[in-house]
């Protein structure tokens, strides 16, 4: 098995899988949509359970005092239940949130779509201490599409999810950090460099930065 198909990547041959995460909610709710989008774009299989599926809801919430006032409710792989679940809480519960490892980076990248991941690969492969900050999941818009036909180097096409997974693994193999599941909320000069703040209060110091958040406003 090559590096690119090691444990850090999904095993596409192993699907279908049994979801280890369940969400009880109302399909039409915006938070419910955000959670489904977040989980699918991060490659986390999940089971969506409508609140009116009484039998399944009873099985999942048996023994708790959780109910319609606590939607959406996320049941994590360890069995713990998150009432009024948010993307941030679910990401933390799944261990997808990591803190910056270094006190300072050469390059901070905002957004880990194809452009940000390419910047991370080339920055890190040139020896820059590189970190990419991503609000949702690696791959950006491209990560949401089932097939990209015109990406260089994939003559038969590649799914957006697989492209995102491969690019993230490649960036990390060169030593780049990819911090997921919370957006940058502020960036300011800090001496000769920059201080970037994430929505959970984490701070990233860097000598330079690259803004690759695409259609999203700085
Ligand atoms: C359904 C679909 C199918 C497509 N198919 C094709 C195709 O076949 N061929 C093709 O050439 N193009 C295709 N595209 C277009 C292609 O996906 C985009 O051109 C490409 O993704 C742009 O890459 P990007 O990295 O510049 O931006 P994006 O992909 O938009 O990535 C930007 C990233 O920045 C993150 N971000 C935004 N704000 C912040 C913040 N404050 N802090 C941290 N992170 C932030 C976002 O969450 C996102 O992940 C498709 C797009 C879609 C939606």
For the chain, list the domains and their CATH numbers: 14-93 (3.40.30.10), 105-211 (3.50.50.60)
Please indicate whether residue 158, judged by its CB atom, sits closer than 6 Å to ligand 1.
no
CB 60 within 8 A of CB 49: yes
Q: Which residue has the tokens 């098995």?
A: 1
Cβ within 8 Å of residue 52, ≥6 positions away: none
- Secondary structure letter of residue 35 according to DSSP: H
pLDDT of amino acid 154: 96
pLDDT band with cut points at 50, 70 and 90 for residue 15: low
pLDDT of amino acid 12: 55
What's the pLDDT tens digit per position in 103-157? 999 999 999 999 999 999 999 999 999 999 999 999 999 999 999 999 999 999 9
Closest-lying ligand 1 atom to the alpha carbon of residue 115: 25
pLDDT of amino acid 14: 58
What's the pLDDT tens digit per position in 160-208? 999 999 999 999 999 999 999 999 999 999 999 999 999 999 999 999 9
Write the DSSP assignment of 126-154 as a string of letters. TT--EEEE-SS-TTGGGGG-S-BS--TT-
Please indicate whether residue 64, judged by its CB atom, sits closer than 6 Å to ligand 1.
no
Residue 202 token pair: 């984490």
The alpha carbon of 214 and the centre of ligand 1 are apart by a number of angstroms equal to: 6
For 125, phi and psi rounded to 5 degrees?
Answer: -70, -20
Closest-lying ligand 1 atom to the alpha carbon of residue 137: 49
pLDDT of amino acid 19: 86
d(CA 2, CA 8): 11
CA atoms within 13 A on the CB side of 58: 3
Q: What is the mean pLDDT of the chain?
A: 91
């Amino acid at each position: 098995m090559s590096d690119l198909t090691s444990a850090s990547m999904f095993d596409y041959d192993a699907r279908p899988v049994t979801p280890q995460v369940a969400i009880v909610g109302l399909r039409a709710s915006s938070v419910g949509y955000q959670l489904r989008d977040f989980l699918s774009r991060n490659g986390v299989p999940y089971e969506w359970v409508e609140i009116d599926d009484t039998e399944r809801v009873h099985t999942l919430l048996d023994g708790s005092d959780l109910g319609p006032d606590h939607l959406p409710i996320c049941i994590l792989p360890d069995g713990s239940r998150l009432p009024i679940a948010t993307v941030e809480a679910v990401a933390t519960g799944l261990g997808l949130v990591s803190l910056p490892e270094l006190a300072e980076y050469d390059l901070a990248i905002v957004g880990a779509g194809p452009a940000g991941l390419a910047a991370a690969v080339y920055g890190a492969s040139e020896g820059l201490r590189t970190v990419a900050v991503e609000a949702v999941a690696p791959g950006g818009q491209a990560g949401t599409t089932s097939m990209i036909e015109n990406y260089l180097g994939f003559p038969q096409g590649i799914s957006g999810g697989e492209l995102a997974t491969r690019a993230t693994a490649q960036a990390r193999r060169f030593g780049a950090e990819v911090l997921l599941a919370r957006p940058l909320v502020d960036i300011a000069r800090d001496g000769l460099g920059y201080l970037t703040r994430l929505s959970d209060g984490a701070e990233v110091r860097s000598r330079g930065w690259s803004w690759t958040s695409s259609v999203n406003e700085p």
